[in-house]
Copies of this chain bind each other. A is one copy, B any other.
Amino acid sequence: MLVHARDGGFDLFIDGRAILRHRPDAPCLFLGRGVERMEMYRGNFDIEDYVVERVPLAHAVVTASEDGWRIDCAAAPGSPIRLTLIVSGDGANGTIAIQSHDPGANRFWLRLVAEAGEHLWGGGEQMSYLDLAGRRFPLWTSEPGVGRDKTTAVTFEADRTGRAGGDYYNTNYPQPTYLSSRRYALHVETAAYSVFDFRHGAFHEIEVWAMPERIELFARPTIADLVTAMADRFGRQPRLPDWALEGAIIGLKAGEQSFQRLERYIAAGVRVCGLWCEDWVGLRQTSFGKRLFWDWQANDSRYPDLKRRIADLAARGIRFLGYVNPYLCNDGPLFAEAETRGFLATTAEGATYLVDFGEFDCGVVDFTIPEACRWFEDQIIGENMIDLGLAGWMADFGEYLPIDLELKSGADAKLMHNAWPVLWGAVNARAIAKKGRTGDIVFFMRAGYSGIQAECPLLWAGDQSVDFTRHDGLVTVIVGALSSGLLGNAYHHSDIGGYTSLFGNRRTAELLMRWAEMAAFTPVMRSHEGNRPDENLQIDQDEATLAHFARMTRVHAALKPYLQTLAGEAETMGLPLQRPLFLHHEDDARAFEIWDAYLLGRELLVAPVWQAGTNERGLYLPAGTDWIHLWTAERHRGGQDVEMTAPLGQPAVFYRADSSFGEVFKALAAL
């Protein structure tokens, strides 16, 4: 890090890259006050800010110190110092610590130097846009929305009926961290609502609705090195266990019928590594349909003799997975226990805070109470789940913490809202660690925030709509995997066939097949019946779909040795399994434009067909190598656009001509 006082202001560099440029007539810092309006509707937020004050801190005085620099900032010469920046660090890692001297200030804006043509990635798990340039991204964990595109009828209906349509920036997993194509990364250490605004051209602007603790900077020679730096900073996932690579996890929620239905998959040649029954806790009938019973213990009437059946499956090499979330329904026994022991968050008046989830109310386990965490870890996850034999689960939610409840720690719920997914992930991770099962048991989360990397072994892309739409369909899984992967989340997967079927939107066989053939080229294959199983096509209801799926599970299983190698790269270098093309082709400008295709490791290039009704897929083959088409073995020169025939079962997948895994890949076409 280097700070030059200059022209009455200063320039700040890391390893030669200009990051801040401050002049009295063009300050980079603004301080102020805002009054926000935040309303939550079942995890969807309506947020609006009334900015009362936004004062440029035009006057900055730089003082060199032993460890770095101190920059005192005021509105004008002679005015009180309102903010001090403490700058430290070397050419690789730097820190700008923020000290506010204005207790009334609750808004912070910082302008960063922008360059023409700069690409920006990150912001957590973004579902619509990999490159953040040119857009504004509020960073607040929430439901991502149904449709996420104000021009579609599904979004309109979701908005109209539940304010649930969402927009391009809504995500379960935001994170105020970005990577720049200028080979630096920036992280804002805060849990407050924040915004990355990349619309301005001449500068980027970061907005935080609190004083952030610090800005962290990372400079590296390559983008891959930056990703390693992210993984070093935010934590690594345990290595994905081999069992999860050996086939698909079949999602069924038919009670004990699930076991019989599983046999149909196996009989059809599906390679099965797990059976996932989220209804292991039983069901509740509501006018909306069947919902899970949110009291986290096996339901004997829906799954009689479950422990034995789990053991029977395990003997055949098939794991059993379940479901849990951080709420407790108030008509279940765990709620009563948690309430008695004071483990539930409260209202301002001290009553148990209840969240309405649609004809049932739930308490919120207060993870700021260490004893409550221990109870959840040991009794619920440890005894009720792990001891029963569960090898994994969906750790659902995390993004709904109401902002008007009281936490025992006294922390402001608005400042804990973004942090909540990480607390929730940590409860799951600790519960597994206490049993010594880290790296064996796998839970998967959709919610996240800075630090989820160290807690959650596997992201899941949330609840896509059961369609091919640009902002809520199949293709958003690619964007989610790539954006989160660049921040150090190595493992990502999705619900095969999508989840959300509303307003007449239904799964087609084509969608199921396209999704399965993409999922085969991701770390984990897992199916989901969706939110309305009875109204939507299931894999085992259609022979062609089932056969297609079976073949894709064989392809996936055959990739195991390659995926194991990639898991090693995740462990040693923090590299994600799914990677943007530019991660290995930094010198190819075209690679920076691609967001709907990816590298699986360095060797495989995957371009899923993500639109309906087409057997064609155009893509760009990066320069520097020849590429072998997986299904035809045709060799294509890199550095060109190709238009591939990609019928069902043959997504556009290539491997490097020079790959040491050539034999593994070559064998896939015959499966």
Chain B CB within 8 A of A51 CB: yes
Interface size class of A (residues with CB under 8 A): 20 to 34
Contacts of A156 on B, CB cut-off 8 Å? Answer: 153, 156
Determine which residue in A50, A54, A79, A160 has the highest number of CB atoms from chain B within 10 A of its CB, and name it: A54
Name the contact of A54 in the complex, choosing from B51, B150, B200 (C-beta under 8 A): B51
Given contact pairs A55-B75, A151-B160, a sample of 4 additional A-B residue pairs in the complex whose CB atoms are under 8 Å apart: A30-B53, A32-B54, A53-B54, A78-B78
Please encode chain A, from 30 to 50, with 1 for each CB lying within 8 Å of some chain B CB and 0 for all others. Answer: 101000000000000000001
| Chain B CB within 8 A of A76 CB | yes
Query: A75 is contacted by which of B54, B75, B151 (Cβ under 8 Å)?
Result: B75
- Determine if A52 is an interface residue (Cβ-Cβ < 8 Å): yes
Q: Does A56 contact B (CB under 8 A)?
A: yes
Which A residues fall within an 8 A CB radius of B?
A: 30, 32, 50-56, 75-76, 78-79, 150-151, 153, 156, 159-160, 200
User: How far, in Å, is A52 (CB) from chain B's closest CB?
Assistant: 7
Please tell me if the beta carbons of B55 and A53 are within 8 angstroms of each other in the complex.
Answer: yes
Contact of A76 among B32, B51, B79, B151 (CB under 8 A): B79
Q: In the complex, which residue of chain B has the Cβ closest to the Cβ of A58?
A: B53
Among the listed B50, B53, B159, which residue makes an inter-chain contact with A56, where contact means beta carbons less than 8 Å apart? Answer: B53
Query: What are 21 A-to-B residue pairs whose CB atoms are below 8 Å?
Result: A30-B52, A30-B53, A32-B54, A50-B200, A51-B51, A51-B54, A53-B55, A53-B56, A54-B54, A55-B55, A55-B56, A55-B75, A75-B75, A75-B79, A76-B76, A76-B79, A78-B78, A150-B159, A150-B160, A151-B160, A156-B156
Q: How far is the CB of A154 from chain B (nearest CB, A)?
A: 11
Complex Cα distance, B79 from A480, in Å, reads 50
Q: What distance in Å separates the Cβ of A110 from its nearest Cβ neighbour in chain B?
A: 13
Contact partners of A30 in chain B: CB under 8 A: 52-53
Set of chain B residues within 8 Å of A76, measured between Cβ atoms: 75-76, 79
- Shortest CB–CB separation between residue A437 and chain B, in angstroms? 49
Measured between C-beta atoms, what is the minimum distance from A603 to chain B in Å? 43
- A151 neighbours in B (Cβ, 8 Å): 159-160
Contacts of A53 in B (CB 8 A): 30, 54-56
Q: How far is the CB of A492 from chain B (nearest CB, A)?
A: 32
- How distant is the Cα of A37 from the Cα of B538 in the complex, in angstroms? 47
- Cβ-closest chain B residue relative to A33: B56
Interchain nearest-CB distance for A197 vs B (Å) = 8
Which chain B residue has the least Cβ–Cβ distance from A151? B160
Q: In the complex, A30 Cα to B76 Cα: how many Å?
A: 17
- A-B residue pairs, 9 tightest by C-beta: A54-B54, A156-B156, A151-B160, A55-B55, A53-B56, A53-B54, A51-B54, A76-B79, A51-B51
- Closest chain B CB from A463 CB (angstroms): 23
A360 CB → nearest B CB, Å: 27
**CA distance in complex: A364, B200 (Å):** 32
Residues of B within 8 A of A50 (CB): 200
- Specify the chain B residue showing the minimal Cβ separation from A199: B50
A176 to chain B, nearest CB (A): 20
**Closest beta carbon of chain B to A68's beta carbon, Å:** 29
